[in-house]
């Protein structure tokens, strides 16, 4: 040992007995849990979780333990009660909401990160992957390479960050540093978009002090695409009335219909007013990696901010979104933490320890500080199957939506409610002479029957008064068998409810 240096402690965690918690033994713990997880993914009797509810509730619903039961008891509960009664959303027939399914590579990378890359600071391999995967993700999604990217927990926070940058930009134009000083007295900001804009935008406006009602929904067409000239008129009117236009929100994949706004025309409107253009691609943006779908996203590169959720179509664990902003310093002025005694910053010439350098200060461009090393999740996904694998998945899923559209268009008792743009399709059971009210009641009951009697679980969307059955294809496990199975089941159940044909 060099003179003056301090010996590093050599006792192995988990064997010292210094703490009540086991700190090692991962091999054994995972060997117990992994078979239960694999069994869960075979979905043998996953449908029985509700039937067994009283049983597992009784096993789990215990008072706060004064004395710990030990690791074995934890593993036992996980193996017997928790995992088998978990959420069967990874099932190939689960087509509801926009949930995705975490792939093995991504789950494993996430676990590895929880052990060896606990946080997103310092000079570690995990934090290098954050920067690398943000670059890869931008390239996959056809975003300009020089936009600043930052991860957060989901589309909700990703939209919040983007709207924070937009608000900063809008008020700096009138000489106010809103991040530092807050909104000027009496100032009213406005955010513009179509009727299908996700309500996390409204909430972001609320959190940012603009108020949820700052979102002004302008008219959209039947598929949910906003009318850019209506946005233009709204901004003109509001500016004349002394309101502050903060952002236009374009959708790269509307949540209900999958529609993609005319981003190039929205960019024209945004530029003509000097207003921020935000593109919400939480669900749909990965489709931009498919050459034949790319024209739909024309104008994307002109956005001031963009978001995408790798936990939807890309198959990372839940809790992963990226915000990209043309000028990252706006994020910093919007969200930086002012200096604090516990936030020591240092940048030595040549780091010796990994703790000599905190790495990029993303936490001054976000609303997070402690958070998992999500870069490894996205890296694992892309390293495993590459752009080709994602492209195949997107093509397959868009194909499924079109397949249902074709079947619905041809079938005498199905109606295609909105033609698909990406991998979402809205259709319904409909008999001749049935009005919307009657059709809605039938489709509601079709949905209940699907949930009760099958493992095919779409969700619904109410569009122009019509309750549509809305399967979303983002689950890598789904095959044509589930797709056709769903259409057949809707017809059979609908026929059964309305009298056989
Ligand atoms: C899902 C979704 C969101 C919200 O994302 P979370 O990750 O669920 O917070 C926002 N915008 C769009 C278009 C979405 O589809």
Please write down the HEC assignment for all residues of 55-79. HHHHHHCCCCCCCCCCHHHHHHHHH
Element (H, E) at 325: strand 321-325
Distance separating alpha carbons of residues 69 and 60, to the nearest angstrom: 13
Spatial CB neighbours of 280, under 8 Å, sequence gap ≥ 6:
155, 159, 197, 198, 201, 249, 250, 251, 252, 307
Look up residue 281 and give its two tokens.
Answer: 């691609």
Angle, helix 125-140 to helix 375-410, in steps of 10 degrees: 30
CA atoms within 13 A on the CB side of 163: 31
Tell me, what's the pLDDT at 6?
47
CB of 163 within 6 A of ligand 1: the answer is no
- Position 361 scores a pLDDT of 86
Pocket of ligand 1, candidates 152, 153, 191, 198: which has the most ligand atoms within 8 Å of its Cβ, to mutate? 198
200 lines ligand 1 (CB under 6 A): yes
Q: pTM of this prediction?
A: 0.95
| Ligand 1 nearest atom to the CA of residue 309, by list position | 7
For residue 7, the CA-to-ligand 1 centroid distance in Å is 49
User: What's the token pair of residue 59?
Assistant: 């096993």
Residue 254 Cα to ligand 1 middle (Å): 9
Ramachandran quadrant class, 225 (left: phi over 0; alpha: psi -120 to 50; beta: rest): beta
pLDDT value for 7: 45
Tell me the Ramachandran region of residue 230: left when phi exceeds 0, alpha when psi lies from -120 to 50, beta otherwise: alpha
Ligand 1 mutation pick, 200, 225, 374, max ligand atoms within 8 A of CB: 200
The edge-to-edge listing of strands for the beta sheet with 414-418 is: 94-95, 457-463, 466-470, 426-429, 414-418
Residue 281 C-alpha to ligand 1 middle, in angstroms?
Answer: 8
Ligand 1 contacts CB of residue 98 (under 6 A)? yes
Rounded CA-CA distance 482/21 in Å is 44
Atom 4, ligand 1: which residue's CA is nearest? 155
Q: Are 257 and 136 in contact (CB under 8 A)?
A: no
For Cα atoms 379, 383, 384, give the angle at the middle one, nearest 5 degrees: 120
How far apart, in whole angstroms, are the C-alpha atoms of residue 96 and residue 63? 35
Tell me the pLDDT of the chain (501 aa) as tens digits.
Answer: 444 444 444 444 445 578 999 999 999 999 999 999 999 999 987 678 888 999 999 999 999 999 999 999 999 999 999 999 999 999 999 999 999 999 999 999 999 999 999 888 888 999 999 999 999 999 999 999 999 999 999 999 999 999 999 999 999 999 999 999 999 999 999 999 999 999 999 999 999 999 999 999 999 998 889 999 999 999 999 999 999 999 999 999 999 999 999 999 999 999 999 999 999 999 999 999 999 999 999 999 999 999 999 999 999 999 999 999 999 999 999 999 887 777 666 666 788 888 888 888 889 999 999 999 999 999 999 999 999 999 999 999 999 999 999 999 999 999 999 999 999 999 999 999 999 999 999 999 999 999 999 999 999 999 999 999 999 999 999 999 999 999 999 999 999 999 865
The residue written with tokens 């797709």 in the block is 483
Please state, in angstroms and as integers, the Cα–Cα distance from residue 39 to each residue in 21, 32, 318, 480, following that order: 28, 12, 21, 23
**Kind of pairing between the strands at 244-251 and 215-218:** unpaired
Return the residue whose CA atom lies nearest to atom 12 of ligand 1. 282
Phi, psi dihedrals of residue 414, rounded to the nearest 5°: -125, 150
Consecutive H or E run containing 462: strand 457-463
| Closest to 107 in 3D by CA, of 45, 34, 36 | 34
Mutate to test the pocket of ligand 1, among 255, 422, 461 (most ligand atoms within 8 A of CB): 255
3-state secondary structure (DSSP) of residue 101: coil
Please give the structure tokens belonging to residue 361: 């200060």
Return the ∠ at Cα 277 (arms to 274 and 280), rounded to 5°: 170
What is the per-residue pLDDT for 347? 64
Enumerate residues 6+ apart whose C-beta is below 8 A from 211. 205
**Structure tokens of 350?**
């040549």
Q: Which two tokens stand for residue 86?
A: 């978990």
For residue 251, the ligand 1 atom closest to its alpha carbon is 13
How far is ligand 1, taken at its centre, from the CA of residue 27, in Å?
Answer: 36
Q: What is the DSSP annotation of 173-223?
A: TTT--HHHH-SPTT--EEEEEETT--HHHHHHHHHTTS-GGGEEEE-B-TT
Whether ligand 1 lies within 6 angstroms of the CB of 198 is answered as: yes
Atom 6 (ligand 1) nearest CA = 155
Helix, strand, or coil here: 348?
Answer: coil
Q: Which residues, other chains included, contact 255 with Cβ-Cβ below 8 Å and sequence gap of 6+?
A: 98, 196, 198, 282, 283
Q: What integer pLDDT is reported at residue 348 of this predicted model? A: 64
Identify the DSSP state of 45: S
Give the pLDDT of residue 46. Answer: 61
């Amino acid at each position: 040992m060099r003179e003056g240096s301090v010996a590093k402690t050599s006792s192995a965690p988990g064997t010292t007995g210094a703490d009540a918690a086991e700190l090692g033994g991962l091999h054994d713990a995972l060997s117990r849990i992994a078979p239960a997880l694999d069994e869960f993914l075979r979905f043998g009797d996953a449908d029985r979780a509700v039937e067994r509810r009283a049983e597992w509730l009784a096993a789990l619903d215990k008072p706060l333990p004064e004395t710990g039961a030990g690791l074995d008891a934890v593993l036992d509960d996980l193996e017997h009660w928790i995992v088998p009664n978990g959420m069967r959303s990874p099932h190939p027939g689960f087509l509801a909401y926009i949930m995705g399914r975490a792939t093995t590579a991504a789950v494993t990378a996430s676990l590895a990160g929880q052990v060896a890359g606990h946080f997103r600071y310092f000079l570690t391999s995990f934090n290098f992957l954050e920067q690398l995967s943000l670059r890869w993700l931008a390239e996959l999604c056809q975003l300009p390479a020089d936009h600043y990217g930052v991860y957060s927990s989901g589309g909700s926070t990703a939209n919040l960050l983007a709207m924070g940058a937009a608000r900063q930009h809008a008020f700096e134009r009138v000489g106010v540093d809103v991040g530092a000083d807050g909104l000027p007295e009496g100032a009213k900001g406005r955010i513009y978009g179509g009727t299908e804009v996700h309500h996390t935008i409204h909430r972001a406006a609320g959190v940012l002090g603009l108020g949820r009602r700052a979102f002004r929904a302008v008219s959209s067409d039947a598929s949910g695409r906003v009318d850019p000239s209506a946005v233009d008129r709204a901004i003109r009117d509001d500016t004349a009335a002394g309101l502050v236009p903060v952002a236009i929100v374009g959708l790269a994949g509307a949540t209900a219909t999958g529609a993609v706004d005319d981003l190039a025309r929205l960019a024209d409107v945004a530029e003509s007013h000097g207003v921020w253009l935000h593109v919400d691609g939480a669900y749909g943006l990965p489709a931009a990696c498919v050459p034949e779908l790319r024209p739909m996203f024309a104008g994307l590169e002109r956005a001031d901010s963009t978001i995408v959720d790798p936990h939807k179509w890309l198959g990372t664990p839940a809790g992963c979104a990226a915000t990209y902003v043309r000028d990252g310093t706006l994020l910093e002025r919007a969200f930086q933490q002012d200096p604090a005694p516990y936030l020591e910053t240092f940048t030595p010439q040549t780091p010796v320890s990994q703790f000599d350098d905190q790495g990029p200060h993303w936490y001054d461009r976000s609303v997070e500080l402690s958070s998992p090393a999500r870069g490894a999740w996205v890296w694992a996904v892309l390293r495993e199957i590459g752009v080709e694998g994602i492209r195949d998945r997107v093509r397959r899923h868009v194909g499924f939506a079109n397949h249902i559209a074709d079947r619905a268009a041809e079938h005498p008792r199905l109606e295609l409610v909105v033609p698909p743009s990406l991998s979402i399709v809205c259709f319904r059971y409909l008999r001749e002479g049935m009005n919307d009210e009657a059709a809605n009641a039938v489709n509601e009951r079709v949905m209940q029957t699907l949930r009760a009697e099958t493992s095919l679980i779409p969700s619904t969307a109410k569009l122009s008064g019509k309750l549509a059955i809305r399967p979303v294809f983002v689950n890598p496990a789904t095959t044509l068998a589930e797709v056709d199975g769903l259409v057949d089941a809707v017809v059979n159940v609908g026929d059964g409810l309305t009298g056989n044909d």
